[in-house]
Structure 1
Amino acid sequence: MSSSTIYPSGPRLGLRDFDVNDIADVHEYTADPLVSQFSTWEPNALKQTTAFVEAAAQEHLDPDRTAFSLAAVLDGKAIGSVAIWITDPHDRNGELGYTFHRDYWGKGYSSEAVSMLLSFGFNSLGLERITATCHPENQGSVRVLEKSGFALEGRLRSHRRIRGQRRDSMLYSILRGEWSLA
Structure 2
Amino acid sequence: MTSISTKEILLRDFRWDDLSQYQTLRSDPKFQRFYSEEDSAPEKAEELLGIFISQSREAPRTKYQLAVVAGSGDLMGSCGLRIESPGHASIGCELGRRWHRTGTARFATDALLTFGFVELGVQRIFAETISENKAAIKLCQSIGMSIESERVNDRCFKGRTWSTTTLAIRRDEWQANHPQ
Same fold per TM (> 0.5)?
yes
Q: Are positions 1:17 and 2:13 aligned together? A: yes
Alignment-derived partner of residue 179 in structure 1: 174
Cα distance in structure 2, aligned partners of 1:72 and 1:13: 7
Q: Are positions 1:151 and 2:146 aligned together? A: yes
Alignment-mate amino acid for residue 113 of structure 2: L
Question: Which residue of 41, 46, 52 corresponds with 1:44?
Answer: 41
Equivalent runs, 1:60-139 vs 2, <5 Å: 60-75=56-71, 76-89=73-86, 92-139=87-134
Q: What is the DSSP-based 3-state SS (H/G/I as helix, E as strand, rest coil) of the residue aligned with 2:156? A: strand
Alignment-mate amino acid for residue 57 of structure 1: I
Structure 1 residues 127 and 168: alpha-carbon distance in aligned structure 2, compared to 1, 3 A threshold: same
Where does the alignment leave 5 or more consecutive residues of structure 2 unmatched? none
Deviations 1:60-91 (A, max 9, x none): 211122111110111212111111111111xx
Deviation of 1:134 (Å):
1.5
What fraction of aligned residue pairs are identical, expressed as a percent? 25
Deviations 1:106-148 (A, max 9, x none): 1111011110110111112211001001111212112111111
Cα distance in structure 2, aligned partners of 1:25 and 1:127: 32
Deviation of 1:39 (Å):
2.9
The 8 Å contact of residues 81 and 99 in structure 1, kept in 2 or not, is answered as yes
Q: What is the DSSP-based 3-state SS (H/G/I as helix, E as strand, rest coil) of the residue aligned with 1:37? A: helix
Where does the alignment leave 5 or more consecutive residues of structure 1 unmatched? none
The 8 Å contact of residues 83 and 96 in structure 1, kept in 2 or not, is answered as yes
TM-score, structure 1 normalization:
0.89
Cα distance in structure 1, aligned partners of 2:145 and 2:98: 25
- Judge which range, 114-123 or 56-65, deviates more: 56-65
- Alpha-carbon RMSD across the aligned residues, in angstroms, is 1.6
Cα distance in structure 1, aligned partners of 2:116 and 2:158: 31
How many residues are matched?
175
Cα distance in structure 2, aligned partners of 1:163 and 1:120: 35
Q: What is the DSSP-based 3-state SS (H/G/I as helix, E as strand, rest coil) of the residue aligned with 1:11? A: coil
Deviations 1:156-176 (A, max 9, x none): 223333346442111100010
Alignment-mate amino acid for residue 43 of structure 1: S
Q: Which runs of 4+ in 1 moved over 6 A?
A: none
TM-score, structure 2 normalization:
0.90
Cα distance in structure 2, aligned partners of 1:143 and 1:61: 33
Alignment-mate amino acid for residue 66 of structure 2: L
Q: Are positions 1:54 and 2:50 aligned together? A: yes
